[in-house]
Amino acid sequence: MNNIKAKLLLVIGVVGLVVVLLLNSSSNAGKIRVNLHALPEDVTFSVDGKDAGGSIFLKPGAHTFAASKEGFETEKHVVSVSLKTTDLYFAPRPISESAKEWANQNDTTARREAYAGQMANIIGESISDESPITTLLPHYEIAGPYSIDYGLKDDNSVYLLIGNSTAAGRQKALQWLQDSGYKLSELDIRFDDFVNPTTGEKQ
């Protein structure tokens, strides 16, 4: 009788485990596992404003990541998650005396620089993936004349900056963007040397 109960409990346990695994698998379908690394290691991570562990499954696309710890400046980045961004690195800057002392005692300079370099490369690739036009910039045309470069907003989305131009040059710059396969209505375009005659402000 005891053997039957033991076998029944074993079967129930196995079935339960299978159900849990299937549920986890289905909930993570189409998502990418992202591993978060930090120095110091006991930071608190958040993703899109919600607390997260050191490993999390996310849908592809832009997400806001943050690493925080008392005594350190919160480090925040917007990264486009893809198969290229399976590991992210954070090294919050120590700002309190105790945090600075910890950093000195643990000789973190080399690792902090390595983390910062890795993160810069990841963000650069993320920006290129989200906004392929950045791979064509900066672009200069002496005969325009005009120049086109890009800048980043707080969410790491891209805006284009047209400068060093005349009225004719600005039109040529816009034409170059169209000839490159982009719709002007889908771009955030700014002019660094064009003054609106009605407001007197740069546009």
- The type of residue at 63 is H
Q: Over the stretch 94-130, which tens digit does the pLDDT of each residue have?
A: 999 999 999 999 989 999 999 999 999 999 888 888 8
Asked whether residue 50 falls in the same domain as residue 106, the answer is yes
How much is the pLDDT for 114?
Answer: 96
| 125/39 same-domain check | yes
Q: Which of 130, 159, 175 is the last residue of a domain?
A: 130
173 and 86 together in one domain: no
Number of separate domains in the chain: 2
Joined together, the tokens standing for residue 8 give 């029944």
pLDDT at 129: 85
Domain membership of residue 148 as a residue range: 133-191
- Residue 175 sits in the same domain as residue 112: no
Q: Tell me whether residue 9 is in a domain.
A: no
CATH number at residue 41: 2.60.40.1120
Is residue 90 a contact partner of residue 36, using CB atoms and an 8 Å limit?
yes
Same domain as 156, residue 94: no
Q: Is 106 found in the same domain as 149? A: no
Q: What is the C-alpha to C-alpha distance for residues 203 and 195, in angstroms, rounded to an integer?
A: 6
Contacts of 1 (CB under 8 A, 6+ apart): none
Q: Using alpha carbons, list the distances in angstroms from residue 133 to 75, 154, 168, 180.
A: 27, 18, 22, 9
Q: Which of these, 135, 185, 141, 181, lies nearest to 162 by C-alpha position? A: 141
What is the amino acid identity at position 7? K
What is the structure's pLDDT at 202? 56
pLDDT per position in the chain (203 positions), as tens?
Answer: 556 666 666 656 555 554 444 444 456 888 999 999 999 999 999 999 999 999 999 999 889 999 999 999 999 999 989 888 899 999 999 999 999 999 999 989 999 999 999 999 999 888 888 899 999 999 999 998 999 999 998 888 899 999 998 889 999 999 999 999 999 999 999 998 665 444 555 55
| Residue 182 included in any domain | yes
Are 102 and 157 within one domain? no
